[in-house]
Amino acid sequence: MEIIILKDAEKVAATGAELVAELLRVSPAAVLGLATGSTQLALYRKLVESCRAGAISFKRATAFNLDEYLGVTPDNPQSYRAYMRRELFDHVDIDPGRTFLPECGAGQNPVLVGPDYEKKIAAAGGIDLQVLGIGVNGHIGFNEPSSSLNSRTRVKTLTRQTVEDNSRLFSAEEFQPRLAVTMGIATIMDARRILMLATGANKADAVARMAEGPVTAMCPASILQMHERVTVLLDEAAASGLENRDYYDWTHQQNESLKARFGRSHDV
């Protein structure tokens, strides 16, 4: 796991956007795995700016989102489809026909959405780069604590805490979903590269458990310790619970100098 601690959330977004941009420049037809949530807002703003400036293009790219609420139609402003359109898809040159979320249409059996989504990901050749955020409870996607580490896309019940964390986004009279369809942990682990962004002091404990705790279903993000190519971008606040901090900074310095000399770091 490559852990990079940056000055603030702005720098986290800029560094994350640069990584995505690098991939799109090298592989214009890349398959991106995308996340929603507040952490990613600044990342998407940067990507929109780059695309508008002509520095990157999504024309040949494909996007698969991690999750979507159940019982919320794509045209509902609370849906993750609406979030993605608002924050990214409607402002870049991506082909809307190549943007996928694990959506459950009216009358569709939600149990069948997961296997179908897995087939679509496989048909696209798998995910090149999966962007992730982390929940306060260590979830990735909506794989809540105790999710099978071997799970694939399926319906999940959100924890009371996740419902509470997201309640700020719903008005009192609005329906707030308690179920979602989410990529599974094994689906996420299949991505060739993973980019995790975490900012803010409320993520410090989850980040420490992810990077330095035991691999356990009680902290789903801890499975990332088993992935070959993970980059974690943190601001100071999110990094504040890490014990091994000095080593991460030291490694980052070495990686930067390797990159300057050979154009590639040794990463993880």
Enzyme catalytic residues: 67, 137, 139, 144
Which residue in the set 46, 81, 98, 139 belongs to the binding site for ligand F6R (CB under 6 A)?
A: 139
Q: Are 185 and 210 in contact (CB under 8 A)?
A: no
Indicate the residue whose CB is closest to ligand F6R.
133
- Does 81 bind ligand F6R (CB under 6 A)? Our answer is no
Q: How far is the CB of 53 from ligand F6R (least distance, A)?
A: 25
Strand partners, 4: 233
Which residue in the set 30, 35, 48, 185 belongs to the binding site for ligand F6R (CB under 6 A)?
A: 35
Alpha helices in the chain (DSSP H): 9-26, 39-52, 80-87, 110-123, 160-166, 185-189, 204-212, 245-262
- How many residues interact with ligand F6R (rule CB under 6 A)? 14
Beta carbons within 10 angstroms of residue 246's beta carbon: 9
Burial of 154 (0-12, 13-18, 19+ CB in 10 A): buried
Taking only Cα atoms into account, the Rg of the chain, rounded to an integer number of angstroms, comes to 18
**Nearer to ligand F6R (CB atom), residue 94 or residue 238:** 238
- Does 39 bind ligand F6R (CB under 6 A)? Our answer is yes
Which residue in the set 102, 135, 138, 220 belongs to the binding site for ligand F6R (CB under 6 A)?
A: 135
Which residue in the set 5, 6, 9, 36 belongs to the binding site for ligand F6R (CB under 6 A)?
A: 36
**Nearer to ligand F6R (CB atom), residue 139 or residue 251:** 139
Q: How far is the CB of 148 from ligand F6R (least distance, A)?
A: 16
C-alpha 102/C-alpha 118 separation (Å) is 9
**Nearer to ligand F6R (CB atom), residue 163 or residue 258:** 163
Q: How many residues does the chain have?
A: 268
Contacting residues for 250 by C-beta, under 8 A, at least 6 apart: none
Comparing C-alpha atoms, which of 113, 41, 116, 35 is closest to residue 70? Answer: 113
Contacting ligand F6R within 105-134 (CB under 6 A): 133-134
* Interaction pattern, residues 140-179, with ligand F6R; x per rule: CB under 6 A: xxx-------------------------------------
Q: Are 41 and 268 in contact (CB under 8 A)?
A: no
**Nearer to ligand F6R (CB atom), residue 140 or residue 251:** 140
- Does 138 bind ligand F6R (CB under 6 A)? Our answer is no
Residues of the shown chain interacting with ligand F6R in the complex, contacts defined by CB under 6 A:
35-39, 66-67, 133-135, 139-142
